[in-house]
Amino acid sequence: MVRLKALVVYPRDGVGDFGDLLAIGRAEAKRILRTRENVNVKDILYSAKCGVHIIIFEVPESTLVEAIPLVVRGGSR
């Protein structure tokens, strides 16, 4: 059975090319799954309503660590 996960990317001025989005998706998926194995990106979608890119990737079978949501907060407390 194939497990899929999704990653939401907020657009920046420099990100607009699908190659850039693919690289961001692979790098962030590797970080979230804590693996060095290549992650297969299945699809890149754009939501005009929300103004974000959604990257769908496959979780490798060899990954034993369950992907936990990571929250990155900016600014000072």
**Per-residue pLDDT tens for 3-16?**
899 999 887 766 66
Q: Tell whether 68 is covered by a domain.
A: no
Question: Does some domain include residue 11?
Answer: yes
Tell me whether residue 71 is in a domain: no
Q: Is residue 49 in a domain?
A: yes
Residue 69 lies inside a defined structural domain of this protein: no
Question: Does residue 39 lie in a domain region?
Answer: yes
pTM above 0.95, yes or no: no
For position 43, what pLDDT does the model report? 94
How many structural domains does the chain have? Answer: 1
64 within domain boundaries: no
**Residue 67 belongs to some domain of the structure:** no
Q: Is the pLDDT of residue 77 over 50?
A: no
Longest dimension (CA), the chain: 42
CA distance 67 to 77: 27
- For 11, the domain range is 3-59
Rounded Cα gap, residues 16 and 11, in angstroms: 7
Q: What is the pLDDT of residues 13-72, one digit of tens each?
A: 666 688 888 998 899 999 888 888 888 999 999 999 988 889 999 988 777 555 555 554
